[in-house]
């Protein structure tokens, strides 16, 4: 555990030099997205919406709260991890110290946890200012959002460790992240999709996170019991936590 905290400390020291750039994605992007999509497009959607008394701003903001966690988790688990193996080789350097491979994995995962938490709280506050939902309701959804971020981050860390070239990560973003972002219920209800695509979407962790976030922030009915959603997200997290150290060891020791 001490080793993982040392890795976390190193991540935080490095982040002190780059945090200004993340302000845009953490604070400015929510304002832009909620203004353009939630208020701009939302004013048109609300005129003929099939969302009942729910505004499109509230529907969209609750989905984006979970989607942002997915993006943050994948983003911090992809190219930064590849850099540790291939470009900066910080992982190789760390192994020359008492740091163990599991420390590298869980130290970096803890850093991602902090990043996702900060982004979730920031987005929740911005969305509350826009009137999407109450601050207290949004903050109760933060643990679910963090779980979503880690459910993506740890498997992606394992995948990144197994790849030699960054082109595989580009494919993950292009053919994995973008379709999940668009087709998991962030922008429109899932029942607007064809039946076969709905079934595929329910296999995506993001859909489960969005269902939970909407239940917590908007008191919306969930398609499945809460325990099923939490259990599915936890399953992805656990599988990633088991695979990532193995892939790191194979990459660094073999």
Over residues 79-92, the pLDDT tens digits come to 999 999 999 999 99
Q: For residue 138, what pLDDT is reported?
A: 87
Three-class SS of the chain:
CHHHHHHHHHHHHHHCCCHHHHHHHHHHHHHHHHHHHHHHHHHHHCCCCCCCCCCHHHHHHHHHHHHHHHHHHHHHHCHHHHHHHHHCCHHHHHCCCCCCHHHHHHHHHHHHHHHHHHHHHHHHHHHHHCCCCCHHHHHHCHHHHHHHHHHHHHHHHHHHHCCCCCHHHHHHHHHHHHHHHHHCCCCCCHHHCCHHHHHHHCCCHHHHHHHHHHHHHHCCCCCCCHHHHHHHHHHHHHHHHHHHHHHHHHHHHC
Give pLDDT tens digits for 30-41. 778 777 776 666
Q: Chain centroid to CA 39: how far?
A: 24
Rounded-to-integer distance, Cα 149 and Cα 162, Å: 20
Note the pLDDT of residue 166: 92
Sign of the CA dihedral running 169, 170, 176, 181: positive
Residue 7 has a pLDDT of 94
Residue with the bigger pLDDT between 48 and 167: it is 167
Give me the pLDDT at residue 222, please: 86
Mean pLDDT on 128-134: 86
Q: What range does the domain containing 240 cover? A: 2-253
Residue 220: Cβ-neighbour burial (10 angstroms; 0-12, 13-18, 19+): middle
What pLDDT is recorded for position 170? 95
**What is the number of domains present in the chain?**
1
Taking the C-alpha atoms of residue 120 and residue 117, their distance in angstroms, rounded to an integer, is 5
Q: Per-residue pLDDT for 50 more than 60?
A: no
What's phi and psi for 18, nearest 5 deg?
-125, 0
* Per-residue pLDDT, 85: 94
Residue written as token pair 């291939």: 86
- The label of the residue with tokens 């080793």 reads 3
Q: What is the average pLDDT score of the chain?
A: 89
**Residue 88 in tokens:** 């900066």
Q: What is the mean pLDDT of residues 178-205?
A: 92
Structure tokens at 62: 């609750």
The Cα–Cα gap between 5 and 140 comes to 27
Q: What is the pLDDT of residues 53-74, one digit of tens each?
A: 678 888 889 999 999 999 999 9
* Pairwise CA distance, residues 224 & 128, whole Å: 26
Q: Greater confidence, 188 or 43? A: 188
In order of 33, 165, 251, the CA distances from 245 in angstroms are 36, 19, 10
């Amino acid at each position: 555990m001490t080793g993982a905290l040392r890795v976390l400390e190193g991540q935080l020291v490095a982040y002190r030099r780059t945090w200004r750039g993340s302000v845009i994605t953490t604070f400015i992007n929510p304002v832009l997205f909620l203004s353009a999509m939630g208020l701009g497009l939302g004013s048109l959607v609300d005129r003929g919406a099939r969302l009942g008394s729910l505004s499109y701003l509230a529907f969209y903001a609750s989905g984006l709260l979970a989607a942002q966690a997915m993006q943050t988790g994948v983003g911090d688990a992809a190219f930064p991890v590849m850099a540790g193996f291939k470009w900066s080789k910080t992982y190789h350097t760390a192994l020359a110290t008492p740091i163990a491979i599991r420390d590298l994995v869980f130290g970096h995962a803890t850093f991602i946890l902090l990043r996702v938490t900060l982004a979730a709280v920031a987005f929740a506050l911005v969305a509350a200012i826009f009137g999407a939902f109450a601050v207290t309701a949004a903050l109760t959804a933060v643990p679910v959002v963090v779980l979503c971020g880690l459910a993506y981050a740890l498997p992606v860390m394992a995948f990144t460790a197994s790849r030699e070239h960054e082109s595989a990560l580009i494919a993950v973003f292009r053919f994995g992240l973008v379709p999940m972002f668009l087709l998991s219920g962030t922008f429109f209800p899932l029942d607007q999709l064809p039946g076969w695509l709905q079934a595929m979407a329910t296999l995506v962790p993001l859909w489960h996170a969005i269902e939970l976030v909407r239940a917590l922030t908007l008191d919306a009915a969930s398609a499945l019991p809460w325990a099923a959603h939490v259990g599915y997200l936890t399953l992805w997290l656990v599988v990633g936590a088991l695979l990532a150290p193995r892939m790191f060891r194979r990459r660094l020791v073999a």
